[in-house]
Chain A
Amino acid sequence: MEAFTTHTGIGVPLRRSNVDTDQIIPAEYLKRVTKSGFEDGLFAAWRGDETFVLNDPTYAAGSVLVAGPDFGTGSSREHAVWALMNYGFRVVISSRFADIFRGNSSKAGLLAAQCSQDDVELLWKLLENEPGTSVTVDLESRTVTAGDLTAPFQVDDYARWRLLEGLDDISLTLRHEGDVTAYEKTRPSWKPVTL
């Protein structure tokens, strides 16, 4: 996984709450067997509406999405994270993320930065009043900066460490393979097997 320390890019205001993963990428786009090429499906239904924010050329190079609360609810599809990243997003800011989405983001290298809803509102106003404004997201100091606004964000300590180091979970876990083997010896023999 690519390490993440700080990122600066154009902020995109998405004034919606409950952006579920079916909106981020509808099921019909989930049929690829790779991790790339999902940008076509990102917000596919909404992009049919010419007033949708991503259809504004000002935001064509947008890489920091600022969304309403309960972002990423619903389906566990990691394709939602891939679609955002394939499109060019490195950060999503919201006042509340669904658990599975947040977990998927940290595994795939997308930063899910949790700001207060008040700060999200201020960011929205700033980005709408001055479209194309850059937003800097610093994972070291856990702050978002845009124009005159500096806002703190929350991110899980362990997820932050892994993102900063660019570490992948599987190799970390495999360092403890002995513990896994020892645990397996303690499992009751009546636990079911599939084969």
Chain B
Amino acid sequence: MPKNRFVEVLAVGKTLAEKVWDAHVVRRGEGEPDLLYIDLHLLHEVTSPQAFDGLRLAQRPVRRTDLTLATEDHNVPTTPGPISDPISLTQVETLRRNCEEFGIKLYPMGDAEQGIVHVVGPQLGLTQPGMTVVCGDSHTSTHGAFGALAFGIGTSEVEHVLATQTLPLKPFRTMAVTVEGELPAGVTSKDIVLAVIAKIGTGGGQGYVLEYRGSAIRSLSMEARMTVCNMSIEAGARAGMIAPDETTFAYLEGRDHAPRGEDWDAAVAAWRELRTDDDAEFDAEVVLDAASLTPFVTWGTNPGQGAPLGDSVPDPAQMEDSERQAAERALEYMGLVAGTPLRAIPVDTVFVGSCTNGRIEDLRAAADVVKGRRVADGVRMLVVPGSARVRLQAEAEGLDAVFTEAGAEWRLPGCSMCLAMNPDKLAPGERSASTSNRNFEGRQGKGGRTHLVSPLVAAATAVRGTLSSPSDLQPLSAATAGHATQEA
């Protein structure tokens, strides 16, 4: 989008991101950022209280309560009962008071629609192609899976959107992330995005909107696409997007907030235009071959420090100067020795959940692996659905029983151990295989050590006790496969 607009008007086509951007420009002034209209503003308890305070101080109302939705997710406990931490409780109660005072719809703990904000929006059909979606949460990039321009903002910007339903923004650059070919069995969209981040680095996407394209991306389900877009921020990108197609429309049709009847037809007609023109130019492009991908795991303390599961812990001495010091520090924090096969790393905890991998397909994939097997001795496995709806759906399918019979804990929905704001934490030195999005130092609890993995790898790791993929597991015999309670 920093391209010369005059030239653009004359000849060059537009990318998907540029189309959505241009359709939301309220005002464009010389030497100023564009003023962009926001179609959907999602709120949670952590990044909103100071924004509401700002509104009160300036005596400003919320401009569009009908384009705003709040849910409680970061602080909520995943075991039954009230919030025991008084400071967490204050934050949640503050959100409740603010939503009541300003007239904003809130899905509180215990509500049938409560859940992680990025799971709730899509499942209600509120996230639709071509929209602008923001939230005081960096993983807002998730919603880009629908061809929406969706990005995380800070609390000052939350206040700005509440007051004006707009944001002043400088156009983002565009990067094509093209993944062609067929994914091998056992390789998921999580592995795609971890491989992308390892390739371009945690700053590689800085200033860009990533558009994921290619046959491997088109073949993904909506839920798998959300996983990819979710982690765009871990490459430093503002947003990730995927052009809407029949998969998108099929997912949306009939959802609570999706258009109906003639509106549906009009919407789909508009959505079909939301694709990058053949003659459009990206500012950068990255290409990956899907067939060459394998299950991917992180070994370090940022999401770019990852490798195929079949590799060993890398040797910092072999790295370039710019990466060596960070890698040495990461290995020290992680308690890892260069040359150790990744498959030999034992874990204490397995976490399945989060806005990255807490949707029904993720739980089905993990359940499929642990069914008829047992979580290894000494390993704790937590399964935390992304929303109340996901939880109910999983229970209707009997997944909760599969997990509990394998020895895993089946929890209530929330952000949980992804960021350890609730009681679900790693102890110092404890090591996890986690389907979440960040392996930063202390992210899952002070001193905790995190390996980011797909749901399939998480489940196989729970069974073997060391980082593993399902192909490492002993096949279930016909006799045990039908009896989930027996040990494989």
Contact = CB atoms under 8 A, between A and B. Distances in A.
Interface of A: 15-18, 20, 22-23, 26-28, 30-35, 45, 69-70, 73-79, 81, 96, 98-100, 103-104, 107-108, 156-158, 169-170, 172-174, 176-177, 179-180, 183-184, 187-195
B49 A33 contact: yes
Interface residues of B, number: 85
Interface in B132-159: 136-138, 152-157, 159
B216 to A, nearest CB: 27
20 contacts: A15-B325, A27-B419, A27-B421, A28-B421, A31-B75, A32-B91, A34-B50, A74-B440, A75-B419, A76-B47, A79-B155, A98-B203, A158-B170, A173-B168, A174-B163, A180-B166, A187-B37, A187-B39, A194-B40, A194-B68
Interface in B141-196: 152-157, 159-160, 163-166, 168, 170
- Grouping DSSP codes into helix (H, G, I), strand (E, B) and loop, the A interface class, with mixed when no group exceeds half, is loop
A-B pairs with lowest CB-CB distance, top 10:
A107-B156, A104-B154, A33-B49, A78-B154, A190-B263, A76-B152, A190-B259, A78-B155, A193-B66, A31-B87
A74 to B, nearest CB: 6
Given A35-B50, A192-B125, A192-B128, A158 B164 contact: no
B272 interface: no
Interface string B188-210: 00000000000000110011000
Contact of A193 (B26, B67, B421): B67
Contact of B60 (A99, A170, A195): A170
A72 B357 CA distance: 24
A194 B126 contact: yes
Contacts of A192: 39-40, 125-126, 128, 257-259
Interface of B: 26-27, 31-33, 35, 37, 39-40, 46-47, 49-50, 53-54, 58, 60, 63, 65-69, 74-75, 85, 87-88, 90-91, 94, 105, 125-126, 128, 131, 136-138, 152-157, 159-160, 163-166, 168, 170, 202-203, 206-207, 233-234, 236, 238, 257-259, 263-264, 266-267, 270, 301-302, 322, 325-326, 329, 419-421, 438, 440-443, 446-447
Nearest to B267: A190
* Of A17, A33, A100, most B-chain CB atoms within 10 Å: A33
B206 A96 contact: yes
Contact of B170 (A79, A156, A179): A156
Contact of B164 (A31, A45, A69, A180): A180
Contacts of A158: 31-33, 168, 170
Given A74-B138, A174-B164, A179 B60 contact: no
Contact of A18 (B159, B270, B302): B302
Contacts of B136: 76, 78
Given A26-B446, A31-B88, A98-B236, A173 B166 contact: yes
Q: By CB atoms of chain B within 10 A, which of A27, A76, A79 has the most?
A: A76
Nearest to B36: A183
B81 to A, nearest CB: 19
A100 B160 contact: no
Contacts of B54: 170
